[in-house]
């Protein structure tokens, strides 16, 4: 006879992305909240568990956690992410036979029905549960005896004592520990969660060209010169120093100063034109030093608490060894030439691209995977990837999966200033962080709408925006025209709206000389050496350092999905909060969006979210000025100036002690 089948329906399992096609992203140490709709015909009591496991070569058996009903056939549960890596989870449900029987028994008692048959049925259920408990070994022996005693009590005949024993919730709890799972249903395909290490969520980036770090004007810098810059980077509070490509640079079609098509003999060229007879993507530029010098630079950075991020640009100078050694990796025109790279309206005459999906893609992809693994061997775990949106998505999904299977602590930042859906597709494919349109969001409504989309919408499950006010490629118009106040307010926004942000060196010196009519730097460091005076008058080094110190001191600023906007009665002032779930860290921030004038605003405070009563008095500590004040009521007033266009408050609440009042939070 065919076995009985279960009929439980499990649907709407969350969180998931594209029906489980891609893993959801969380931080190691977090708890993942899982919800599902679980239902069955009739009135059976259901048992629902969340099953999860870590996907490692030595993966243990799945663990289980009981899920709780939350109304309307919805269930919820949690599981912890103990460490960095990939996890899988699913939901399993089955009818809880004894609880269902006990529920029906209580209704029949109320109806004054004869219960002889029901008591026999209950005894049978307890006998079966006792056998399963005994089969569990010594751990179930005590429970097996208790279940057998319950069986005997039910067989003693209908009495008040028997019915009381039958409805004892402790008996039902014991029976439920040894369920009959023959009618169990699982949710099907396991869903996945990738637990990022903390720096993939919370990081402060400083972009530095090593070749511009020499003390003597006109001399090409080395890794040793760049090493002397590391205390400066640490003083500013950054924990990631990001280097543009450090490889040999080609001479064919080398770019001159300001992207000139003809280079002078002493022009250094673009670091993104990778490859020369001295080597390619696994080599270092001879003028920078040796591979051993680079490893020493990485080690020195680590001693200061700084990680090195390396730019990976999968493109080649025409002089790259790949072009000669593996011509089959490149697609050629009918005349035999290789097409140069373009990102309209820009054209890169000094760069050629791979034939990504060509017949030799298997060997090409394997070689490019080895590039990542090579630099990981040198101590690098963070990669900023150049223009990933111009390479196939299947490649990124494959290569990032391959690298993270070996090194789950690797972090990939997508430099993808491109179409929104492509940016999100790259994040799904495995990129941990992404550049964003923050650079061009200026007005309050567009800033709020965009940051809500990033941090509160569906994309927040898989995409983390790293906010950059500038890059070597982009000097936005507001920085060109707004002067020092613009640099102050844009850094305050970037550093507080997202747990990850970055600046390109020179930002702290308010560099804003642009090519006429373009969002590009005049005398761009992409094409020439640049010498800087870090003590330049008007610099905002102290402001940058303060922002990074505040970020490090307040856990609310280290999370991504907790950003909430609140009302300010001035369209030139944006007001928002970030709080930890337990409210132990609460941050309020107001930032001016206008670098040309001072502004005042009435702020509507989120008292309910802060756990405050309307008449409760509390203290706020303004972290940039180190000023304190007592606030009470639903509003507060702020004045923001060009010299101080932001205010960041930490909320401190009172509590009564034996000595009087004290502060907490």
DSSP character at residue 3: P
Task: Give the pair of three-digit tokens for residue 309.
Answer: 């991020």
Q: How far apart are CA 539 and CA 541, in angstroms?
A: 6
Distance CA 475, CA 520 (A): 5
The H-or-E segment that residue 562 falls in is: none
Dist CA 471 CA 309 (whole Å): 15
Do residues 465 and 454 make contact, with C-beta atoms less than 8 angstroms apart? yes
Long-range CB contacts for residues 624-633, cutoff 8 Å, separation at least 24: 624/543, 624/546, 624/550, 624/648, 631/605, 633/605
Show which residues are catalytic.
386, 415
- β-pairing, 240-243 vs 307-312, is parallel
Q: Where are the beta strands (DSSP E) in 84-141?
A: 85-95
Tokens at 606, concatenated:
């989120």
Calculate ∠ Cα 549-552-555, nearest 5°: 135
d(CA 571, CA 593): 8
Q: Please state, in angstroms and rounded to a whole number, the distance separating the CA atoms of residues 471 and 419.
A: 18
Residues 6 or more apart in contact with residue 229 via CB below 8 angstroms: 208, 213
CB contact at 8 A, 226 and 130: no
For β-strands 346-352 and 340-343, DSSP reports them as antiparallel
Separation between Cα atoms, residue 498 and residue 437, nearest integer Å: 13
Instruction: Please give the angle made by the CA atoms of 241, 247 and 251, to the nearest 5 degrees.
Output: 135
| Residues 306, 285: Cα–Cα separation, whole Å | 23
- Tell how strand 500-504 and strand 464-465 pair up: unpaired
Length reported for the chain? 665
Q: How far is CA 107 from the centre of its chain?
A: 51
| CA–CA distance, 89 with 79 (Å, rounded to integer) | 9
């Amino acid at each position: 006879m065919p076995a009985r089948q279960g009929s439980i329906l499990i649907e709407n399992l969350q969180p998931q992305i594209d029906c489980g096609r891609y893993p959801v992203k969380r931080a190691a140490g977090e708890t993942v909240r899982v919800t599902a709709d679980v239902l069955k015909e009739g009135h059976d009591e259901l048992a629902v568990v969340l099953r999860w496991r870590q996907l490692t070569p030595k993966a243990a058996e799945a663990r289980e956690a009981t899920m709780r009903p939350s109304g309307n056939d919805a269930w919820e549960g949690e599981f912890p992410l103990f460490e960095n890596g990939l996890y899988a989870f699913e939901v399993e449900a089955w009818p809880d036979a004894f609880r269902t029987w006990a529920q029906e028994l209580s209704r029949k008692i109320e109806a004054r029905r004869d219960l002889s048959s029901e008591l026999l049925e209950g005894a049978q259920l307890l006998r079966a549960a006792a056998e399963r408990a005994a089969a569990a070994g010594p751990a179930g022996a005590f429970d097996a005896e208790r279940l057998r005693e319950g069986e005997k009590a039910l067989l003693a005949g209908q009495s008040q004592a028997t019915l009381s024993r039958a409805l004892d919730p402790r008996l039902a709890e014991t029976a439920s520990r040894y369920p009959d799972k023959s009618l169990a249903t699982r949710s099907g395909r396991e869903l996945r969660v990738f637990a990022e290490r903390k720096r993939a969520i919370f990081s402060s980036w400083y972009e530095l060209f090593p070749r511009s770090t020499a003390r003597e004007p006109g001399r090409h810098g080395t890794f040793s010169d760049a090493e002397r810059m590391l205390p400066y980077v640490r003083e500013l509070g950054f924990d990631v120093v990001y280097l543009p490509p450090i490889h040999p640079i080609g001479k064919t079609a080398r770019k001159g100063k300001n992207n000139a098509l003809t280079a002078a003999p002493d022009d250094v060229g673009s670091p993104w034109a990778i490859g020369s007879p001295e080597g390619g993507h696994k080599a270092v530029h001879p003028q920078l030093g040796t591979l051993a010098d680079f490893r020493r630079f990485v080690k020195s950075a680590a001693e200061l608490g700084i990680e090195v991020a390396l730019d990976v640009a999968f493109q080649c100078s025409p002089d790259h060894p790949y072009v000669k050694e593996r011509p089959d990796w490149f697609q050629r025109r009918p005349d035999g030439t290789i097409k140069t790279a373009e990102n309209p309206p820009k054209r890169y005459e000094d760069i050629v691209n791979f034939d990504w999906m060509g017949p030799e893609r298997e060997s090409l992809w394997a070689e490019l995977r080895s590039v990542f693994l090579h630099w990981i061997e040198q101590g690098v775990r963070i990669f900023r990837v150049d223009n990933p949106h111009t390479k196939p998505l299947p490649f990124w999904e494959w290569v990032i999966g391959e690298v993270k299977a070996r090194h789950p602590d690797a972090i990939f930042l997508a430099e993808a200033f491109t179409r929104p859906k492509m940016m999100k597709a790259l994040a799904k494919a495995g990129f941990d962080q992404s550049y964003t349109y923050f650079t061009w969001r200026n007005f309050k409504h567009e800033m709020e709408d965009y940051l809500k989309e990033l941090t509160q919408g569906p994309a927040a499950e898989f995409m983390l925006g790293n906010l950059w006010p500038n890059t070597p490629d982009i000097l936005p118009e507001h920085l060109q025209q707004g002067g020092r106040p613009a640099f102050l307010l844009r850094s305050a926004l970037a550093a507080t709206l997202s747990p990850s942000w970055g600046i390109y060196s020179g930002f702290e010196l308010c560099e804003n000389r642009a090519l006429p009519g373009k969002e590009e730097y005049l005398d761009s460091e992409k094409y020439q050496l640049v010498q800087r005076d870090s003590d330049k008058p008007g610099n905002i080094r102290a402001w940058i350092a303060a922002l990074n110190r505040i970020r490090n001191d307040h856990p609310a600023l280290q999370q991504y999905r907790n950003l909430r906007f609140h009302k300010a009665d001035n369209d030139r002032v944006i007001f928002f909060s970030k709080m930890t779930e337990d409210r132990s860290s609460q941050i309020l921030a107001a930032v001016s969006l206008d670098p040309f004038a001072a502004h005042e605003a009435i702020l509507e405070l989120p008292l309910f979210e802060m756990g405050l009563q309307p008449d409760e008095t509390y203290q706020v500590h303004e972290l940039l000025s180190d000023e304190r004040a007592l606030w009470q009521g639903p509003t507060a007033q702020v004045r923001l100036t060009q010299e101080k266009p932001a205010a960041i408050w930490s909320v401190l609440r009172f509590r009564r002690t034996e000595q009087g009042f004290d502060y907490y939070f």
